[in-house]
Structure 1
Amino acid sequence: MVNIDEIKLKQELLNKLIEIRQHLHKYPELSFQEYRTCNYIGNVLEEWGIPYNQIGDTGIFVDIIGEKGEGPHIGIRADIDALPILEQTNLPFASTHQGVMHACGHDGHTTILLGTIYQLFKYKSKLSGRVRCIFQPGEEADGAAEKLIELGILNNPAVDCMLALHLWPHLPHGTVGVKYGAITASCDSFVIEIEGKGGHSARPHKAIDAITIGSQIIQSLPALVTKFSNPVEPLVIHVGKIEGGTASNVVASRVMLEGTTRAVTVDTRQRIKNQLINLSEGIAKCFGGKVVVQYKDGHPAVINNEWVTKTLQGAASEILGSENVVELVETSMGADDFGAFAEKVPSTYFRLGIAKEGKLAFDLHHPKFEFDDSIIPVGVQIFTFVILSRLQRGLDF
């Protein structure tokens, strides 16, 4: 059995990881534009003498093959992209790319995975099986995880299970939050284009008001949540953008509504899609208009597998103490494309708390979001321990 003290990070490595994190934060890149980030990760790995492979334009993965023979093939994913946000943290290593910021902790995720790779490579003599460490581009965009899956990231050889973490400002610093079942929701988007018939506002009976049709659709959408869904199952339908009309005395001939739907089960996700389309078409028809609904499937819900989650929870409890590992009660209605991996192989996605006592913690995607670098070794030790303590014994989950 691996000794917990044995995997504690030496100061030299810790200093290097802090340097890495601050460099990544200083030079963020948007989804699918992470060329400099990809090169930087590769350079760090080369400096450590660790071989790696590039996948797609800006993705990287490292396979660490245990020297104790056959065993499970476990994947770990870290996302590497940033957001189109103007940073307001005043950190000494704040973003130098105007309007681009690591406001979701991906610089931390990437650094933690690099530290994990360093540790696992050092201790590969204790490993059986294989660990595939994936630096994924484009998490903040659509289709990135699916693209890596299409390119074969879960094959050659087949990955048996996946792990991922997300820094979380809603838990105390250094604590872990686990959730059985859905931990995040799916997120799909829709555009409803409404076609009416323009006219003079003094003669509305000779026109078909697209604004009226749009307002009726907006007012009716909540009924899909309150009257057609299980009241104890989380579900969100949100219209966030409306465009239409040209003047106060003109009946609008066209209106466009844009929004998102979020669900935690596959059945509800599909049902809401069908009902939203049918509802919109029915209302438009009643008023003599037409609609075209463009519905785009986005990120699936992240559904945590019970046995992988239990394994992670046990390992985290050994390192941090069971009092610092909590089971989350609520599913976040935010989304993460890690759900695409969780659809393919048993997986778990957990939260790592970053809220420090006495300091205001800003939410994800906030221009003042930040975290203390001292959380990095915590994440590294959790990943390293759960891998070593399971793979070194050759456990087939």
Structure 2
Amino acid sequence: MMKHVRVSLELEAKLVSIRQHLHKHPELSFQEFQTQQFIISILNEWSIPFKRIGETGVFVDIVGEHGEGPHIGIRADIDALPIQEKTELSFASVYPGVMHACGHDGHTTILLGTIYQLYHNRSLLSGRVRCVFQPGEEVDGAAHQLIQLGVLENPKVDEMLALHLWPHLPHGTVGIKYGAITASCDDFRIEIKGKGGHSARPHQGVDAIMIGGHILQAIPTLVTKTTNPVEPVVIHVGKIYGGAASNVVADTVLLEGTTRAVTRETRATLKHQLTELSERITEAFGGKAYVFYEESHPPVINDESVTKVVEESARKLLGDEQVVMLKEPSMGADDFGAFAEVVPSTYFRLGTALSHQPVYDLHHPQFTFDDSILSIGVDLFTSIVLKTLQKGGKSQ
């Protein structure tokens, strides 16, 4: 018979104080030194051992007392955003221009609560749970760095879990998606080299602005004519600059943007197609194109078996009416995809929208959530782990 573990009123109050402290003291990516020390102080207060990883990361291994079993990882991101907060909360950010506008204060708090619950119930568990506080999710390469530092090794982690607070679902509902749940996000820069000249004699120059216009018109065909029409793809140019004067033929133009895809195959294809398109159009007009492509976050592709455990746990804990099967992936990105490329993983949503309060999207200066979501998140992670690792659970 499986035991059910729920957040106590005492722990619930502690979680609220933790979240409010984190929200009040946000730190940007890879600058989370105070955040790291605060996480460590809570773990020390609870007499829970931990290890540092990288400059600002922390992880905790909870070893079950029933011997060998699966090794489950849980990730929480801990960094904040360069946004001026406008929530007017009593615990609003004390740092001008820095804010927890993406719910990472909630993610960190939920993982701390999960650690408390699992550590004090480790007598129920087989296997191991590795709880990772990851810095730098809002910038490139953070998850990859932790993987290179061995966060999935010694011993090997078999699967990874993560949640994200989500203002597009009702408070306390769980959003589940099999397969791709977020897109990749890669940055590109197209440098077009033409030949400068006077606008009175345009035939003597090679107009980089004109070439840039043709590339801008052609880019949408990579979505409409070269990719599967039922597969979501985004190619967005967000910045264009070039030219020095109204009567001068511009010799250089720069286009900058992003590509997004929900399969690894299309992600790789877009890079090749965008490069080839830009080079051929530019060469046709006598210029030269240089395409610089920076791969950032891979898509988060949820493993079927791991996702099924999350779905079943959520239904049992919260009821079928609180579980929403997401119809389509978000074209936003999360570097949790780096973990999902290495081990079977799943990433799910936890709704925060309250009907009597205005809803603000992630990265909005007024984004916030009700602290009652914290206990739901802890109970959810705890039940997922217990389903897999508890003696008498599915792994036994």
Give the TM-score taking structure 1 as reference length.
0.98
Structure 1 residue aligned with 2:20, among 22, 44, 48?
22
Structure 2 residue aligned with 1:285, among 280, 283, 286?
283
Question: Which residue does 2:337 correspond to in 1?
Answer: 339
Unaligned runs of 5+ in 1: none
SS of the residue corresponding to residue 200 of structure 2 reads coil
- Tell me, in whole angstroms, the C-alpha distance in 1 between the residues paired with 2:287 and 2:278: 10
- Tell me, in whole angstroms, the C-alpha distance in 2 between the residues paired with 1:374 and 1:2: 25
SS of the residue corresponding to residue 338 of structure 2 reads helix
2:100 maps to amino acid: H
2:365 maps to amino acid: P
Determine whether 1:52 maps to 2:50.
Answer: yes
- Tell me, in whole angstroms, the C-alpha distance in 1 between the residues paired with 2:2 and 2:35: 33
Deviations along 1:293-314, one digit per CA (max 9) or x if unpaired, are 1101111000000010000000
- 1:200 CA drift (Å): 1.3
Deviations along 1:30-62, one digit per CA (max 9) or x if unpaired, are 111111101110011000000000000000000
Question: Which residue does 1:111 correspond to in 2?
Answer: 109
Unaligned runs of 5+ in 2: none
SS of the residue corresponding to residue 373 of structure 1 reads coil
- Tell me, in whole angstroms, the C-alpha distance in 2 between the residues paired with 1:366 and 1:218: 29
SS of the residue corresponding to residue 377 of structure 2 reads helix
2:172 maps to amino acid: G
Determine whether 1:123 maps to 2:121.
Answer: yes
- 1:3 CA drift (Å): 3.5
- Tell me, in whole angstroms, the C-alpha distance in 2 between the residues paired with 1:24 and 1:216: 48
- Tell me, in whole angstroms, the C-alpha distance in 2 between the residues paired with 1:91 and 1:242: 38
- Tell me, in whole angstroms, the C-alpha distance in 2 between the residues paired with 1:388 and 1:323: 22
- Tell me, in whole angstroms, the C-alpha distance in 2 between the residues paired with 1:235 and 1:57: 35
- 1:364 CA drift (Å): 0.6
- 1:291 CA drift (Å): 1.2
Give the TM-score taking structure 2 as reference length.
0.98
Question: Which residue does 1:173 correspond to in 2?
Answer: 171
- 1:15 CA drift (Å): 1.0
Structure 2 residue aligned with 1:262, among 260, 263, 270?
260
Q: Is the 8 A contact 1:72 1:395 kept in 2?
A: no
- Tell me, in whole angstroms, the C-alpha distance in 1 between the residues paired with 2:2 and 2:339: 28
Question: How do residues 1-397 of structure 1 correspond to structure 2 at under 5 angstroms?
Answer: 1-4=1-4, 7-393=5-391, 395-396=394-395
- 1:395 CA drift (Å): 4.3
- 1:396 CA drift (Å): 4.1
Deviations along 1:117-156, one digit per CA (max 9) or x if unpaired, are 0000110010111000000000011111011001100011
Q: Is the 8 A contact 1:177 1:352 kept in 2?
A: yes
1:68 maps to amino acid: H
Q: Is the 8 A contact 2:298 2:335 kept in 1?
A: yes
Q: Is the 8 A contact 1:71 1:395 kept in 2?
A: no
- 1:199 CA drift (Å): 1.2
2:385 maps to amino acid: I
Q: Is the 8 A contact 1:67 1:128 kept in 2?
A: yes
Moved over 3 A (4+): 1-4, 394-397
- 1:206 CA drift (Å): 1.1
- Tell me, in whole angstroms, the C-alpha distance in 2 between the residues paired with 1:226 and 1:390: 43
Q: Is the 8 A contact 2:387 2:394 kept in 1?
A: no
SS of the residue corresponding to residue 372 of structure 2 reads helix
2:13 maps to amino acid: N
1:261 maps to amino acid: T
- Tell me, in whole angstroms, the C-alpha distance in 1 between the residues paired with 2:244 and 2:123: 70
- Between stretches 217-226 and 199-208, larger displacement belongs to 199-208
Q: CA RMSD in A?
A: 1.0
SS of the residue corresponding to residue 154 of structure 1 reads coil
Identity %: 67
SS of the residue corresponding to residue 334 of structure 1 reads coil
Q: Is the 8 A contact 2:309 2:387 kept in 1?
A: no
Q: Is the 8 A contact 2:160 2:345 kept in 1?
A: yes
1:380 maps to amino acid: V
